[in-house]
Amino acid sequence: MNQPVLGGKPDAPDLSASSRRRIYWDWINKGVSYLGSIHNPRIDLDRGCFFTPYIEGQTNYINSRWQEVVLPLAWAVSHGVEGISVKRVWQGVYFWAGLQSTSGSFPQYGRYDCDFAATAFSSYAIAAALGYLRQDCPNQTSLDHTLDCLYRSGKWLTKNNERVYSNQQVAAALALLELSLLIDEPNFACAAREKVEAICDPPQKSLFLEKKGFDLGYSTLSLEMLARYFRRTPSCGQRELIADSARRYLRSLRDLDLLRLSGAGTRRTDWIAPGGFEVFVPYLNEGWDLFGTIFSNLDVKHLPDDRHLHTDLCRLCFAFDNTEIDLTGTVRHNKRINYEITTAKEEANFRWLRPVGLHRLRGWL
């Protein structure tokens, strides 16, 4: 992989901006290399399927969330990375479109799933990937079909909400915003605004709740996606609202024992999505020491297995693009980032209820 101009000196302090960019780039490099090792172009190039368990015959369904890997691959192409087939990335986009249900939603653990997370996250990833790829479109007919699928997923997202998992609702808002910038549909921008306002100005005091409580990892994922929204929205009012919620969130973390909370939240996550901190710490001029402590002690890489490699490699790309401040601290003793990517076991619960939509069932409880 060709390395971009990272700036700074190779022996710069551990958490300087240039050093963190090198860290992110190294993780991205290893992630893309791993993807090349598990996806055989001779097998899945023409189909564009990135769901390895299905390719290897382990499942009889296709999880559309694995197609989100087209976003970091498109990003890598735009950053001059060699060895990535643009055709293959486009095939991944087209394959995703073929997974859509007649309702406009996308599946995760069964062909007839009506999955909120899969629809929100994958629609955003595809729409954002088109921003990198569109000038190199090899097939206008297929692109038009993909845009039609994005339109239908956007219509579905405007009518559906996730009341229990904040990160999924933020993903829906982000997807709708990105779709509104891609497709001429005013309702998408309105729905995105309504969702993000509900997330950033909730009736309760706490922000970004998961299962009615606090979870460190997923709350940082919500912050990261709000940072993406913040970067993309043309609305000054929405930017101010998001910045204010980010400020309140950063301040809420200051007095917490994050090492103790890691793995002990409502969803037991022990990782951090760093992109939101990379955006909001310098913008708000708050949380410098907090972010330095987080980077020095917690898992800011979050690529434990091939499933997360497909869905979360884009987090490191976003962090890389927004790294601009120096922090104090060191990663030399951070054992939580010293692991290799493994193979995930594909598991699903409540499969018989998923065609109804688990987000609907949660909303009724």
Identify the CATH number of the domain in which residue 54 sits.
1.50.10
Q: What is the pTM of this model?
A: 0.93
341 belongs to a structural domain? yes
Structure tokens at 238: 């929405």
1 belongs to a structural domain? no
Closest alpha carbon to 138 in 71, 75, 73, 87:
87
Reported as type and span, the H/E element at residue 221 is: helix 216-232
Structure tokens at 344: 């995930």
Alpha-carbon distance of 213 to 114, in angstroms, equals: 25
Reported as type and span, the H/E element at residue 243 is: helix 236-253
63 belongs to a structural domain? yes
Give the pLDDT score at 46: 54
C-alpha to C-alpha distances, 188 to 102, 157, 180, nearest whole angstrom: 19, 9, 5
Q: How confident is the model at residue 1 (pLDDT cuts 50, 70, 90)?
A: very low
330 belongs to a structural domain? yes
Give the pLDDT score at 185: 93
225 belongs to a structural domain? yes
38 belongs to a structural domain? yes
Give the domain extent around 66. Answer: 17-364
Give yes or no for a contact between 67 and 92, defined as CB atoms under 8 angstroms apart. yes
85 belongs to a structural domain? yes
220 belongs to a structural domain? yes
Give yes or no for a contact between 106 and 122, defined as CB atoms under 8 angstroms apart. yes
Total structural domains within the chain = 1
> Does 351 have pLDDT greater than 70?
no
Q: Considering the chain, what is the average pLDDT of its residues?
A: 91
Of 31-45, 214-228, 344-358, least confident by mean pLDDT is 344-358
pLDDT tens for each residue of 38-91: 886 655 545 799 999 999 889 989 999 999 999 999 999 999 887 788 888 999
More confident: 11 or 81: 81
Sequence letter at residue 131: G
Closest alpha carbon to 227 in 211, 245, 213:
245
Alpha-carbon distance of 128 to 315, in angstroms, equals: 13
